[in-house]
Structure 1
């Protein structure tokens, strides 16, 4: 299996990846095809696909913030079971991020991820792909060491229509065993940076940020 980076919407592998995204994710979570042009050309956004016998069987997008020394996993897609796609993507991604942190003269602090909570919303189908089932994914992420940040999380819809997307937790994977909370200031600055591309922020998101700005720390709790 190959771990190939995509840096252009003209890459034939990107079309396959985008079709895979539309198959497994809700529509409000998928950026339109043409709007991917600038993100793919951004050196800070890393999009890789798992390719087996010429076919795109999985994908992951993530980024590393040098000034925060944290990463964000935007998404991970696994198209079918029994091939070790998830483990392959996770291992390759972590190795790449650790290398980026080392180039920055640091050891990676951890990695954010938005994690679906099927106990809040039970109608996520993800194209009927069982490895993408939110119950399965949540348990896998828990085994990997992800924690959930202790606040009610919403995010702006990627349709940029000002709607709030609920039914998720903001998770964090600490790279040290003794990290039980995060600075609220880090979370606020990260979220503002991450969603700066979407000008239409829902009121619920703005209120969430305002509440976080009144805190010093946010606890990391089990998934």
Structure 2
């Protein structure tokens, strides 16, 4: 299996990856094809696909913020069972992020991720692909060491329509697995920067960020 970076919407592998995203994710979670042009050309956004026998069977997007020394996993797609795609993507992503942090003389502090909570929202079937089942994904991410950041979370819809998307938790994978809380100002800085690309912010998101701004630290809970 190959781990190949995509840096242009003209790359034929990108079209295959975008189709896979549309098959797996709900519409409000998928950025339109043409709007990927600038993100893919951004050196700070890293999009890789898992290619098996010439076919895109998985993908992951993530980014590293050198000044914050944290990463964000935007998404991970496992398109076929029985190939060890999830482990392959997680291993290759971690190696890449460790190298990026080391290049800045640091050890990675941790990695954010949004995780569906199927106990609150049960209608995400993810294209019928069993490894993408929200219950499975949540347990896998728990095994990897992710913890739920304990506050009510919403995010702006990627359709940029000003709607608030709920049914997810913002989680964090600390390099120190004994860490039990996270700096609130780090969360605010990260969220403000991450969603700067979406000008239409729902009021619920604005109020959430304001509440976080008044806090010191936020507990990390098991998922």
Q: What range describes the TM-score normalised by the shorter chain of this pair?
A: over 0.9
Deviations 1:75-117 (A, max 9, x none): 0000111100000000000000000000011000000000000
1:203 equivalent to 2:203? Answer: yes
For residue 135 of structure 1, give the secondary structure of its aligned residue in structure 2.
Answer: helix
Separation in 2 of the partners of 1:15 and 1:177? Answer: 37
Q: How does 1:104-115 map to 2 (within 5 A)?
A: 104-115=104-115
Matched, 1:189 2:184: no
Asked if the contact 2:80–2:129 (Cα under 8 Å) also holds between the matched residues in 1, the reply is yes
Q: Hey, what's the Cα distance between the residues in 1 that align with 2:96 and 2:180?
A: 25
Structure 1 position 148, deviation (Å): 0.2
Could you say which residue in structure 2 is the equivalent of 1:86? 86
- Please list the CA deviations of residues 179-212 of structure 1 after superposition, one character each: whole Å capped at 9, or x if unmatched: 1111000000000000000000000000100110
**2:2 equivalent in structure 1:** 2
Q: Kindly provide the CA deviation profile for residues 30-81 of structure 1, in whole angstroms up to 9, marking residues without a partner as x.
A: 0000000000000000000000010000000000000000000000000111
Deviation at 1:177, TM superposition (A): 2.4
Give the deviation of 1:178 after TM superposition. 2.5
Distance 1:99 1:72 in 2: 15
1:60 aligned counterpart, secondary structure: strand
SS of aligned partner of 1:190: helix
Q: Whole-Å Cα distance in 1 between the matches of residues 183 and 174 of structure 2?
A: 13
Helix, strand or coil at the partner of 2:208:
helix
Q: Does 1:98 find its partner at 2:88? A: no
C-alpha RMSD over aligned residues: 0.4
**CA offset digits 1:136-188 (Å, max 9, x no partner):** 00000000100000001000000000000000000000111231111000000
Gaps of 5+ in 2: none
**Separation in 1 of the partners of 2:57 and 2:126?**
15
| TM alignment of 1:79-158, pairs within 5 A | 79-158=79-158
The number of residues matched between the two structures is 223
Tell me if structure 1 keeps the 8 A contact 2:145–2:177: no
Distance 2:92 2:15 in 1: 22
1:163 aligns with 2:155: no
1:114 and 1:8 map into 2 onto residues whose CA distance is 25
TM-score norm. by structure 1 comes to 1.00
Q: Distance in 1 between matches of 2:178 and 2:32?
A: 40
Partner of 2:56: 56
